Amino acid sequence: EGHGSAVDWWTLGVFIFELFYGVTPFKGVDNEMTLANIMARALEFPKEPSVPGSAKDLIAQLLVKDPARRLGSVMGATPIKQHPFFSSVNWALLRCMKPPFVPP
């Protein structure tokens, strides 16, 4: 049957967590332990490095275990784009920006 978009928002939360902390949020010694950690452990943020509260809030909302309550699951990308973490992003102009590097 596949999966809905909620899993994509979960993945975005994991990705942002990894960008800030350099590790995955529920990592176990193997895949089975990682899955067990996802199911049983609460999300915890490392003490270091210092990460903005808005980033932690976004990550926490993207990593809500109940897909129906996860940010983005009901209204799509709009509430994610409106999150304070992205307050400096002008989404309308983003497509018009030139990338700093275009691979050959």
Q: Provide DSSP, 9-50.
A: HHHHHHHHHHHHHSS-TT--SSHHHHHHHHHHPPP---SSS-
Number of domains observed in the structure of the chain: 1
Q: How far is CA 55 from CA 8, 72, 75, 93, 96, in A?
A: 18, 16, 20, 22, 25
Place of tokens 């895949």: 31
Tell me the per-residue pLDDT of 14-49, one tens digit each, with 9 for 90 and over.
999 999 999 999 999 999 999 999 999 999 999 999
User: Quick one: DSSP state of residue 98?
Assistant: P
Residue 102 lies inside a defined structural domain of this protein = no
Is the whole model's pTM more than 0.85, yes or no? yes
Cα atoms found within 13 Å of the Cα of residue 60, Cβ hemisphere only? 11
Residue 99 lies inside a defined structural domain of this protein = no
Q: Domain range for residue 90?
A: 6-94
Q: Model confidence at 3, in pLDDT bands (50, 70, 90)?
A: confident
For residue 33, what are its two tokens? 């332990």
Which domain CATH number covers 57? 1.10.510.10
The rounded distance, in Å, linking the Cα atoms of 56 and 10 is 14
Residue 104 lies inside a defined structural domain of this protein = no
pLDDT greater than 80 at residue 2: no
Please report, to the nearest 10 degrees, the dihedral formed by the alpha carbons of residues 24, 30, 34, 39 taken in order.
180
